[in-house]
Structure 1
Amino acid sequence: MSYGSNRPMRPRIYNYTVNSFQSQYQTPSRQSHSYPSQHHQPQYYQPSQAQLEEESTAVIPKPIVVPSLQEQDQIFLNVSNVYQQSQQFNYRGVLGVGKQGAGVRKRVEMGFQSGLKDEVSYSLNTIVEFSHTNPQLFNLKENPFVLFNLVKYLDCSVIEYLSDSTIKAENDNLNFSLDAAIALRNLSQIIDNAAIMSLDPRLKEILVKIMTNGDRISGNVIDDNREAIKELLRYTVDIVETISSYIAPAPIDDPLFISLIGFLQKTNDRYLIISLLRSLSRLMVRSVSNKPSAADNISSKLLDQITSYLLLSTTSLTAIHDLGYDELILATLDFLYQYSLPGGSRISKLIESDQRSLLLKTVLLNLLTYNLTNIQTEYKDRLRGKKFLKLIKRIKPPVPISPPFLKGNLYNEIYKLDEPQRATTWMRCCYQSVENGEVTQISLWKSYESQFTTIVNPSFEQPLKKLLPAVDFIKNVCNAFPHSSAKVINLPDGSRKFIIKGIQPRQLPVSIEVGNKESAEKTSTGDGDDAGNVTDEEDAEEEDNLKGDSISAQQKFFKILNYGANNNIKLNEINSSSALLLNCLAKDEAGCELLKGYKSEILDKVLMVPPLFNHVFDSLDYLDY
């Protein structure tokens, strides 16, 4: 199989038949006429014998084997490898070869100049892309055509029906306006670009025109362009926020400031509210009280609305962080500070409402330590629902009726002793010396008799020993407890009661060593502090349980608070902004009267958070207790 040169070629397939061979000798057309009968057949051209002989001597091509698809792919790959190893083709004399062509900026500029819809769309999309990835490429100072065309296509005839502008929009494509808005929004994040944009009066006029469309998204009117205009409004508010710092202070009749106020009163979108408050705050910078300012257009109703945002700080911290209210609280504090900064009539207007004055002097102080979770105080655990000092309730247990019954090793040790040592040891282990205690002589003897007349441990092989006689047992009490004495009490009915004064049964038995030691000491007061060392493990466990039932009052040791731990606390922006507003109010006569009596609370905040002192120092000089 030959493919000529190195270029791959697909083989031809010949499929000759008799009919196809004969068809080339047929007449190109027939005479159209009707035949009288079916026996009349059309006449065809018949080749001569010489022509047939000439055709028989011609070379007839033979069919070839067509390779499979896998074989054809392999052939193509082999030929391609040959081309890859050869030198590149050099095109000469072709227009544009070796020329880079127009750059991106020139192509974008020419696309705007053409006015063609596709070219304009390309230019806008290119600027949007580079304004995000490489905004310096379309710097407005070096490329003035960018701002001119973006402002041109930002204005759209769709939003003109609510505007009183005398300049009609050339653009009727709302998508072009969205592209121009997001491009301007991205470019305005650079300081140089924002400063240049703030000098364009046409841009500010279009921004005001778009801001008036807040009515279209705040009402219930169904509009096909509702979502697109809502997106356009967000971009517009972002642009106003960035350029507002360069057009401050706004005059009293500033249309941009008035449009922002009107839009703020109608929207309930948190993102838009935050951006609008920031824009209004920046437009009030460097305003003075003795000159008319755009802040004079703020109504008392709007002040109530803005001040109410501070109440979000009283919500639980978890909910605030989840919903992102910190930025709204901070934007509100910045607005109130810029509004109150000139003092005078503005502060008087701010606190003339009882609702606003009460809210400011209560919430503002709490914002000084807002969201400072790492403060160390004595009452931190108590505020979290935990007890600061854990006291065990003081309970004096009742005197047992009978002494504890011995068992185990202690019983075996005492049983092996001879009388009267056994009786003495038993009394010291089962009774204690108490100043006001008393037991009857008969109950004392019966308890001793019942303890040793029966075998407690069946495995104990020693025989029962003879007990000490009752008379000798009672006389032996004074030997066991030197501070005790046998007495006879005459009862009102004429009978007599024989008692032992100065002892009482123990709650739990003690070891022989402890009993002997305590009997030689001074008589206790009977507060139940006799639960001492015992030998049996079961008795020790019972003693621990009894101590856990609060026999005596106890107090757990706690670590003294290190007050210097709060010196390294870092204040957040809300804390510092609250301090600025507090100082601004305290310097004014009306504000000082509002905060009268709150100096002690401010000092408590400072003691809790020492870094706060530098921020509220000015207000402490003006306020009284």
Structure 2
Amino acid sequence: MGPRSSHEDEPEENPDHDEFVESLTKFAEERGITVDFNSRVNGKHIDLHKLWNVVTSRGGYDAVSKEKLAWRKVGTDFNLGNTNAAAYAFALKTTYYKNLAAYEIKTYWKREPPPVEILEKLTAKGGDILSRTMENFQPPRSSMANGDSDSGGEEARTPKDEKMDIDEPGSGAGGRSSRGLRQAPPPRQLFQPDVSSSRQTRHSSGHLQSPQPAAPAHAGYNYASSNPNSASFAIANYEPRPPMPLTLRPILTPSNNPALFREKQRLAREARKVELGLISPSTKGMMKPGAGFEGPNIYVRTLQGLRSQVPEEQDYALHHLVKISHERGDKYKFDAFPNLAEGLIEYVLGISSLFYDVKWVIRYSDDEHGINILDGINGTPDILQRIQCLKRVDPPDEMESEDFARKLTKILEAGLTIRNLALLEDNAIYLSEMPQLRDFLSIALNLPMSPAVTELKHYALEIAEQVTKYWKMDESDPLYQSLLTQVNEGHDRGAAYTALRALSRISFNLDDINFLTGVPVSVIRRISDWILLEDEELTHACLDFLYFFTAVPENVAFLLSNAEELPLSSFFGQLARLLQYHSTSSYVRSKTLEKVPITAATDIPNVPRDLLEQFLKYDEPDRSNHWLRSVFEEDENSHITQIALWQAYQYRFTEHTNQQTGLLPAAEFIKNVSSIFAGANAQVVNGASQKFIIKGIRPRHAPMDPKGRVYNRCLWKVPGSSQCGEFLLKPKHMFDHIVYQHLGIDRKSDGLWDLESKSRASQLPPDCFWAGCRHFSRRDGSLPTAYELGMHIKTHLPDQSHKAPLRQKYNRTPVNQKIPLTSQLKSHTSSAGVPKVDPEHGREEQVYYQKYEATASDEVGNAIGLPWGSVLVLRNLARNIPKAAGLLKPDSRAEFSRTAIDTLFGPLKDRLLFVMAYNKPLAGYVLEVLAYIEKGSTIS
């Protein structure tokens, strides 16, 4: 029997306690372990019987371990304290684990506990003692200096036939199919990889289905993202191998290193003795079972697995290559892993075996010949003819078998890996130097029409888009013909779009010119139809292709020679329409006349008779309120004395008052001023004598009616007399007033002016006396007639029947900007031709707004987008039509050129002139187009 617990809370004589100690001691002897009945945590004795009762009441070791902070709660039963509670809780957990875990499995759960090596001899981390068996448990492996091991505590095996769901790096979105792991470059922007990668390190691999089976949690197990031995850790921390400098080493000889050669002779003698059986072989440096080097890192293993021709190893390699190319595609380079690109291309060529009775073999010599032999040195120029000769192998009933689906999935993973890595420029250059890649692209683009190969065709087109800029291709090239076929015969918008981009980038990074010869008429017709669609990306690709195509005069001659089959007129019209694609309107403001401020009026204006009659219809205080609004306006810097304001009110309305409608009292009238004008208030100015004023208002130059219409003053002033000063509302009333009062002309019975008789004036005025005009005095001295005077007076009056057009024409002001009538009446021109302004009415600032219809531009103002692409195509056409005409008809070049220019560009001139005038980003380009049109039209 083991020693009795000395815990103070445990009674001296307890049959249950004694029975527990006896049972635990017997179990420990049978298991071969020692139970520590005197265990202490934080200086306090731990009674194993009490600990057993507390833990089993909570469901056992696994249940307590899975519950958050449960071991801390168990520790409270033993008064371990709150300081450093986490450490005390783990120590208590370890005490239970070392002494009672196996006993719990045997007695509480009635199961056979695992061996001591995988239970008591390991740490207490985790909570999986019930699931720990010899079959499913693997002890943690030791960390090696090479931290790139892919084991990560898991048994490596080939992946299941299921697709991975991998999130975009750095995103929290749910997983998606591995088919779209990396994004293609944005339209019209050539892919430029960022040297300093913006990829974020993945810190969680919980949503990634690794090809190894997930090991159960056990003591010492770490998650893959934090375990330096895991594949995810190796991928996330991958850095490309730096270039190694050339190291020169001296040749070792017995003379310069005698110690080395003596050691070699000693080892040779020992090896000879071992061979003769004189001594036993040395075990120094030998890896013992269960320890030592764990194997190559994930990158080496995938490379070797791909080249091994072992299906399981190839599956493992492709599964991880997709992940690596997605997460480390900006650093993972082909030149650092020899034969990786070759292995991927050889594997993906197996797609033909699923549809044809052929297995492509790449050879790097001229020794073998056959329909299935591809030239790995120079490429296979007759690959299209070979494909046509292949025998089709269709699956029965067009159903995919499980083996077919598995092979297709792995081939797609190989194609996706090539596509992902090709987005890096260094890899694209590496691939462009491989002739077998051209053969693969031609084969992939000419596979039979089937939904199963659609994805692989898209990968092939995206690879071609990245590598064609390093290739020179003519019309006999199989890949060039395959790309044209995708545009001409395909019904896939994405395939046509990518094929156009690949064609446009041929020789882009080379000194050779991309002539784009041999393009069928049907391709040009399709492109001319596509630019009519509201599809900006596809139109971008079409304009890119057309720019390089029309840059060659021979291609423009091809267009003109097939004008009957091509809708060139609508094609040119669509290009012109795209010049203003998504244009935005803007206005540039320019000042034409400075503002002349109005001088403050000194006298309160008299109210015209018609306006006074309107006021008299109201009772007080409405009558005085209308009068105040009519003849005063707010001005924070002006004031008027209260006595002057009261006297003006009395003078105006005294003769129109009676017993029923008397005047307001002075105090009430002054009080109403503040209610009419918010900024006006009564004040007292102290000085030699106090002065009572109304601050914040001033008299108007001309009265205003209740509708807000300002009256106009008659400025007729005959020399030697005072100014007329009569106020009239409408220009017609002003004209009638001048003709009747100042010219002395009466009306006839039919309402017309009697220009012959002068009933009220002995003679007409000798000149125009409107504000010092003197228009007729500047003539030959002859007196004006009544008709001439009348017509001239109208020039001083605005035409209200056409307000907006007159403002827009003479004042160059937008229609929606209102100009007071007074500013139009009071401006006139002096004899010196200098504009004069009536200081009593002033003049508003007169501005001119220039409208622009600009399209998209970059940060420095250069045109971008569809308008820029369309104007470049138009410029090529305008420049090359005369040259193309010479190629078609040498004898009548000038006439043909003029006809083509006039027919195609004639209807576009107005639009081109509009774009040049209103679209600043395109103005320079359109000017070049117009210059080429003018030059082509004048060739003799």
What is the TM-score when the length of structure 1 is the normalising length?
0.55
1:607 to 901, 905, 917: 917
Question: Does 2:304 match 1:110?
Answer: yes
Paired residues for 1:334-373 under 5 Å:
334-349=544-559, 352-353=563-564, 356-373=567-584
Look up the equivalent residue of 2:499 and give its one-letter code: L
Sort the Cα spacing of 1:239 and 1:583 in 2 relative to 1 into closer, same or farther, 3 A: same
Give matches, 1:263-278, under 5 Å: 263-278=486-501
> Using a 3 Å threshold, how does the CA distance of structure 1 residues 173 and 409 change in structure 2: closer, same or farther?
closer
1:119-518, aligned counterparts within 5 Å?
Answer: 119-135=313-329, 138-155=332-349, 156=351, 157-160=353-356, 163-164=387-388, 173-213=407-447, 215-216=449-450, 226=451, 228-248=452-472, 250-283=473-506, 295-296=517-518, 298-312=519-533, 325-349=535-559, 352-353=563-564, 356-373=567-584, 375-376=586-587, 404-409=616-621, 425=652, 452=658, 455=660
Q: Is the contact between residue 257 and residue 283 of structure 1 (CA under 8 Å) also seen in structure 2?
A: no
Cα distance in 2 for residues equivalent to 1:377 and 1:412: 46
Deviation (angstroms), 1:126:
1.9
Given that 2:531 and 2:542 are in contact with CA atoms closer than 8 Å, whether structure 1 keeps it comes out as yes
CA distance in 2, matches of 1:128, 1:328: 29
Counterpart of 1:405 in 2: which secondary structure? Answer: coil
Which structure ranks higher in relative contact order (CA pairs < 8 Å, sequence separation ≥ 6)? 1
Q: Give 1:560's aligned residue.
A: 848
The structure 1 residue matched to 2:931, chosen from 601, 621, 625, is 621
In the TM superposition, residue 357 of structure 1 has moved relative to its aligned partner by 1.8
In the alignment, the residues of structure 1 paired with residue 557 and residue 391 of structure 2 have an alpha-carbon distance, to the nearest angstrom, of 41
Deviation at 1:358, TM superposition (A): 1.7
Whether the aligned pair in 1 keeps the contact of 2:470 and 2:507 (CA below 8 Å) is no
Alpha-carbon RMSD across the aligned residues, in angstroms, is 5.3
Q: Using the alignment, how far apart are the partners of 1:529 and 1:2 within structure 2?
A: 128
State how far apart, in whole Å, the 1-side matches of 2:141 and 2:652 are. 121
The equivalent of 2:863 in structure 1 is 571
Give the residue type in structure 1 aligned to 2:618. L
**Shift of residue 260 of structure 1?**
2.2
1:279–1:100: structure 2 CA closer, same or farther, 3 Å change rule?
same
**SS state of the match for residue 339, structure 2?**
helix
Cα distance in 1 between the residues matched to 2:504 and 2:706: 77
Which residue does 1:443 correspond to in 2?
Answer: none
Runs (5+) with no aligned partner, structure 1: 15-63, 217-225, 316-324, 379-398, 415-420, 429-447, 461-505, 531-549
Q: 1:257 Cα deviation (Å)?
A: 2.1
Select 1:583's aligned residue among 871, 875, 879.
875
Give yes or no for contact 1:247–1:283 (8 Å, CA) kept in 2: yes
Inter-CA distance 560–116: structure 2 relative to 1 (3 Å threshold): same
Q: Is the 8 A contact 2:318 2:413 kept in 1?
A: yes
Aligned residue identity for 1:583? R
Structure 2 Cα separation of the partners of residues 134 and 612 of structure 1:
41
Does the CA contact (< 8 Å) of 1:234 and 1:272 recur in 2? yes
Per-residue deviation, 1:360: 3.3
More deviation in 301-310 or 196-205? 196-205
Alpha carbons of structure 1 residues 89 and 330: separation in structure 2 relative to 1, 3 Å? closer
CA contact (8 A) 2:517 2:555 kept: no
In the alignment, what sits opposite 2:55? 70
Q: Which amino acid aligns with 1:333?
A: L
Aligned residue type for 1:241: E
- Name the CA distance, whole Å, in 2 between partners of 1:605 and 1:509: 44
State percent identity of aligned pairs.
Answer: 19
SS at match of 1:115: coil
Letter in 2 for 1:561: Y
Q: Structure 1 or 2: larger helix share?
A: 1
SS at match of 1:173: helix
What secondary structure sits across from 1:561 in the alignment?
strand
Aligned mates of 2:333, 2:391 — CA distance in 1: 27
Distance (Å, rounded) in 2 between the aligned partners of 1:181 and 1:608: 49
Cα separation, 1, equivalents of 2:485 and 2:853: 48
- Going from structure 1 to structure 2, the CA distance change for 1:374 and 1:190 (only over 3 Å counts) comes to farther
Task: After TM superposition, give the deviation of residue 299 of structure 1 in Å.
Answer: 2.4
8 Å contact kept, 1:198–1:246? yes
Quote how far apart the aligned CAs of 1:423 are: 12
Shift of 1:98: 4.6
Quick check: 2:483–2:503 contact (8 Å CA) kept in 1?
yes
Residues in 2 aligned to 1:412 and 1:579: alpha-carbon distance in whole angstroms: 68
Asked if the contact 1:368–1:605 (Cα under 8 Å) also holds between the matched residues in 2, the reply is: yes
Cα separation, 1, equivalents of 2:572 and 2:931: 17
Secondary structure of 2:522's partner?
Answer: helix
Structure 1 position 277, deviation (Å): 0.8
Map Cα deviations across residues 526-553 of structure 1 (whole Å, 9 max, x no partner). 62899xxxxxxxxxxxxxxxxxxx9996
How far off is 1:67 after superposition? Answer: 3.4
Larger radius of gyration: 1
Task: Tell me the distance in 2 between the aligned counterparts of 1:174 and 1:70.
Answer: 54
CA contact (8 A) 1:599 1:623 kept: no
- Give, as a single letter, the amino acid of the residue that structure 2 aligns with 1:610: K
Is this contact kept in 2: 1:159–1:209, CA < 8 A? no
Inter-partner Cα distance in structure 1 for 2:707 and 2:487: 82
Q: Displacement of 1:109 after TM fit?
A: 2.9
Alignment-mate amino acid for residue 405 of structure 1: K
Would the aligned equivalents of 2:318 and 2:410 in 1 still touch at CA under 8 Å?
Answer: yes
Q: Distance in 1 between matches of 2:484 and 2:453?
A: 19
- 1:108–1:123 contact (8 Å) kept in structure 2: yes
In structure 2, the gaps of 5 or more residues are 4-20, 28-48, 62-70, 72-91, 99-120, 125-139, 144-285, 359-386, 394-402, 590-609, 628-647, 666-703, 714-721, 734-799, 805-816, 820-845, 883-896
- What secondary structure is seen at the aligned counterpart in 2 of 1:376? strand
Inter-partner Cα distance in structure 1 for 2:930 and 2:22: 96
**Per the alignment, in what secondary structure is the counterpart of residue 279 of structure 1?**
helix
* Distance apart, 1:242 and its partner CA: 1.3
TM-superposed CA distance for 1:525, in Å, is: 5.5
**Number of equivalences:** 429
Q: SS where residue 560 of structure 1 aligns?
A: strand
The letter of the residue matching 1:176 is K
Q: Indicate how the Cα distance of structure 1 residues 455 and 269 shifts in structure 2: closer, same or farther if over 3 A, else same.
A: farther
In the superposition, relative to structure 1, how do residues 578 and 565 fare at CA in structure 2: closer, same or farther (>3 Å)? closer
Q: Cα distance 1:89–1:332, how it changes in 2: closer, same or farther (>3 A)?
A: closer
Q: Distance in 2 between matches of 1:365 and 1:194?
A: 37
